[in-house]
């Protein structure tokens, strides 16, 4: 029994020894795994954490330029520079190198050596200390060149951009501006923000297979340039004409648009009052500092957005007699009348329960359709509108683009659909007043776009401000001309052009005559508010030459103040701005004079 027990104990001892050996082998294997594998992962984690600690650097994209049709830069992104001090690197270098860097920064940028000594003493482990920001290229040129050529150590720089408006008070509500995040806030800056904006880049650290830290760079992609149809010189002529008007007269608001009637290109556009792109929150042109201070925060925000909007595309007004050529062309196109149809004006017309007056109380007497347009006779146009009928009348209002968005490429356009009568709403009185341009509203851009179709052969084009979008390497968009439809025939368009020439030569538009040029156009006067015979909007829309129009200009003057006081308000106020603009623009566009004309036959009579 004893021998058997010894054998059992011996076997148990051998088993425990084997288990111990196996456990020891397992332990050695585990330690080897930790050292060889987990250790490598640990080292990698430490290195990755170090890379993260060093951080990454954002490379800003350059926002694209906004330029006029001739290449004049209206909005640009100007380089600015930030200076970064690498205290950790500089502290590891020889004292002579440290002194050279500190002396160089003092001599070029005026940074005190005491400040740099303090950073070296307190932030010796800091690779990224910003010691200057917002340097212009001229200020930073020498520093940049030394860093780029490795002639100075322990410093590097970051390039950033700020938006620069080279002509801040020219076409401000067309161009718009960027907010603090460099995003377009309104105007072209907002409408084409996706093209003007690029893509930011980044510099960051990574760990390669050899456990070495590497610097990786994803380059920034700059934004595209937007070329406008706008002509800098024409825009300047428009602004000068507005200034000349304001030197002699007053008004609540002024709106001017200059367009190529053959393709919808906007060559000039201005609203007054306007604002400066250098300080878009300066409200002095609109209200006093005291009035602004009394506003609530919400009222201030609403006020600023109202100041920034482009009223040529957002706000409506009654077109008055500038709408009469549309009625004239519609009646001819639909064969409802002929140019020799005779009408008689006694100064008023009874429509339903209302007696509606002509602008000339004594009436115009007998006149043909052509003479009625030249005289801008309300009574005749009420009769023409009646012969057209409300269905066809409303149909052509829509075909000419009223009550709909024109599609112009700028923020905030309004259709004013709610300001246009429905077909069912064109009862006899509404049809009569619509026929001479009252009791409905249009925007200036709707009026000039529709008017262009009257004179260009009958084609309605989409008005636009963008000519092309491009980068250094490719054209992204070009040839932005969009013909929407043909509204009237070439024949009726020709008849309308000639009739509008008669308005300037023989009728109410004589104030718009320019010696030596063939000018066609139409005056407009509309009452405001409660039709109190005090508050008016006056307008003039005209073009040249009559045979082959190359330029059309619309002027709207809101509440002109007569001088001398008490003088009858009429369209001469708008015509004066029109003449001022066209006298400069036509020679500039090489529209030459045909012959000298007598300037003495200029009547003050105008509706």
* Alpha helices for 249-352 (secondary structure H): 289-293, 297-308, 311-314, 324-333
Query: What kind and span of H or E run contains 76?
Result: strand 73-85
Question: Which band of pLDDT confidence, cut at 50, 70 and 90, is reported for residue 164?
Answer: very high
Structure tokens at 235: 């825009």
Question: Which band of pLDDT confidence, cut at 50, 70 and 90, is reported for residue 564?
Answer: low
Mean pLDDT on 393-417: 96
* pLDDT at residue 38 is higher than 50: no
Q: What is the pLDDT of residue 565?
A: 62
Q: What is the pLDDT of residue 56?
A: 55
Three-state DSSP class for 131? Answer: strand
C-alpha span between 321 and 230 (Å, rounded): 28
First to last CA, the chain: 141
Topology of domain 58-228, per CATH? Answer: Penicillin-binding protein 2a (Domain 2) (3.90.1310)
* pLDDT at residue 300 is higher than 90: no
CA 413 to chain centre: 11
CA distances from 125 to 82, 147, 348, 406, 493 (A): 20, 21, 92, 62, 79
Q: What is the pLDDT of residue 540?
A: 97
Mean pLDDT of the chain: 86
CA distances from 81 to 27, 160, 351 (A): 59, 6, 72
Answer yes or no: are the C-beta atoms of 333 and 323 closer than 8 Å.
no
* pLDDT at residue 104 is higher than 50: yes
Q: What is the pLDDT of residue 159?
A: 81
The full set of domain ranges for the chain reads: 58-228, 312-588
* pLDDT at residue 489 is higher than 50: yes
CATH 3.40.710.10 describes domain 312-588: yes
293/591: higher pLDDT:
591
Which range in 101-115, 118-132, 142-156, 237-251 is most confidently predicted, on average pLDDT? 237-251
Q: What is the pLDDT of residue 282?
A: 84
* pLDDT at residue 434 is higher than 70: yes
CA distances from 278 to 75, 163, 228, 301, 580 (A): 11, 10, 20, 18, 28
Question: Which band of pLDDT confidence, cut at 50, 70 and 90, is reported for residue 88?
Answer: confident
Mean pLDDT on 180-207: 85
pLDDT tens digit string along 117-134? 888 888 888 878 888 888
Mean pLDDT on 121-148: 84
Q: What is the pLDDT of residue 80?
A: 86
pTM over 0.85, yes/no? no
**Residue showing tokens 């008070």:** 169
Q: In the chain, how long is the greatest CA-to-CA distance?
A: 153
**Residue showing tokens 């356009």:** 413
Q: Which residues pair with 213 in a beta bridge?
A: 207
In this predicted structure, which of 63-77, 188-202, 363-377, 583-597 has the lowest mean pLDDT?
A: 583-597
Query: What kind and span of H or E run contains 50?
Result: helix 39-54
Q: Which residues pair with 344 in a beta bridge?
A: 366
Question: Which band of pLDDT confidence, cut at 50, 70 and 90, is reported for residue 468?
Answer: very high
* pLDDT at residue 165 is higher than 90: yes
Tell me, yes or no, if the two domains 58-228 and 312-588 fold the same way. no
535/506: higher pLDDT:
506
Q: What is the pLDDT of residue 40?
A: 45
C-alpha span between 442 and 434 (Å, rounded): 12
* pLDDT at residue 16 is higher than 90: no
């Amino acid at each position: 029994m004893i021998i058997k027990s010894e054998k059992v104990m011996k076997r148990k001892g051998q088993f425990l020894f084997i288990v111990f050996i196996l456990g020891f082998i397992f332990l050695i294997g585990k330690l080897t795994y930790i050292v060889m594998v987990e250790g490598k992962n640990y080292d990698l984690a430490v290195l990755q954490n170090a890379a993260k600690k060093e951080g990454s650097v954002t490379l800003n994209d350059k926002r694209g330029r906004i330029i006029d049709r001739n290449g004049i830069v209206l909005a640009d992104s100007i380089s600015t520079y930030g200076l970064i001090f690498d205290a950790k690197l500089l502290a590891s270098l020889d004292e002579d190198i440290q002194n050279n860097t500190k002396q160089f920064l003092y001599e070029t940028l005026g940074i005190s050596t005491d400040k740099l000594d303090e950073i070296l003493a307190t932030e010796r482990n800091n690779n990224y200390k910003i010691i200057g920001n917002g340097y212009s290229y001229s200020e930073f040129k020498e520093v940049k060149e030394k860093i780029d050529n490795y002639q100075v150590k322990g410093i590097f720089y970051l390039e950033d951009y700020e938006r620069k408006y080279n002509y801040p008070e020219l076409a401000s509500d067309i161009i718009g501006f960027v907010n603090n995040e460099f995003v377009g806030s309104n105007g072209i800056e907002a409408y084409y923000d996706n093209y003007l904006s690029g893509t930011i880049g980044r510099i960051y650290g990574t760990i390669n297979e050899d456990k070495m830290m590497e610097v990786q760079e994803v380059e920034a992609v700059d934004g595209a340039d937007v070329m406008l149809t706008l002509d800098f010189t024409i825009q300047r002529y428009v602004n000068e004409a507005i200034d000349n008007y304001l030197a002699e007269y007053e008004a609540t608001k002024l709106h001017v648009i200059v367009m190529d009637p053959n393709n919808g290109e906007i060559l000039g556009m201005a609203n007054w009052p306007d604002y400066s792109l250098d300080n878009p929150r300066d409200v002095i042109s609109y209200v006093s500092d005291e009035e602004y201070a009394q506003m609530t925060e919400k009222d201030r925000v609403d006020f600023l957005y109202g100041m920034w909007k482009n009223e040529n595309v957002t706000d409506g007004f009654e077109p008055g007699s500038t709408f009469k050529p549309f009625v004239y062309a519609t009646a001819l196109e639909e064969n409802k009348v002929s140019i020799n149809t005779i009408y008689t004006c006694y100064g008023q017309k009874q429509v339903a329960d209302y007696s509606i007056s002509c602008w000339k109380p004594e009436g115009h007497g007998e006149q043909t359709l052509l003479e009625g347009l030249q005289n801008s006779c309300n009574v005749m146009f009420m009769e023409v509108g009646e012969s057209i009928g409300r269905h066809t009348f409303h149909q052509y209002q829509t075909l000419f683009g009223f009550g709909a968005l024109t599609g112009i490429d700028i923020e905030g356009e309004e259709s004013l659909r709610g300001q246009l009568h429905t077909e069912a709403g064109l009862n006899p009185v509404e049809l009569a007043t619509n026929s001479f341009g009252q009791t409905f509203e249009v925007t200036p851009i709707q009026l000039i776009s529709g008017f262009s179709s009257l004179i260009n052969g009958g084609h309605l084009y989409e008005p636009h401000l963008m000519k092309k979008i491009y980068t250094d390497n490719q054209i992204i968009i070009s040839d932005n001309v969009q013909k929407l439809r043909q509204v009237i025939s070439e024949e009726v368009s020709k008849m309308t052009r000639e009739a509008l020439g008669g308005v300037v030569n023989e009728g109410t538009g004589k104030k718009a005559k320019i010696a030596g040029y063939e000018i066609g156009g139409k005056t407009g006067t509309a009452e405001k508010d409660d039709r109190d015979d005090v508050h008016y909007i006056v307008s003039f829309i005209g073009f040249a030459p009559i045979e082959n129009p190359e330029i059309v200009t619309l002027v709207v003057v809101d509440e002109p103040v007569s001088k001398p006081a008490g003088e009858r308000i009429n369209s001469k106020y708008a015509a004066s701005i029109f003449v001022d603009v066209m006298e400069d623009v036509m020679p500039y566009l090489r529209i030459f004079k045909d012959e000298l004309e007598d300037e003495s036959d200029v009547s003050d009579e105008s509706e």
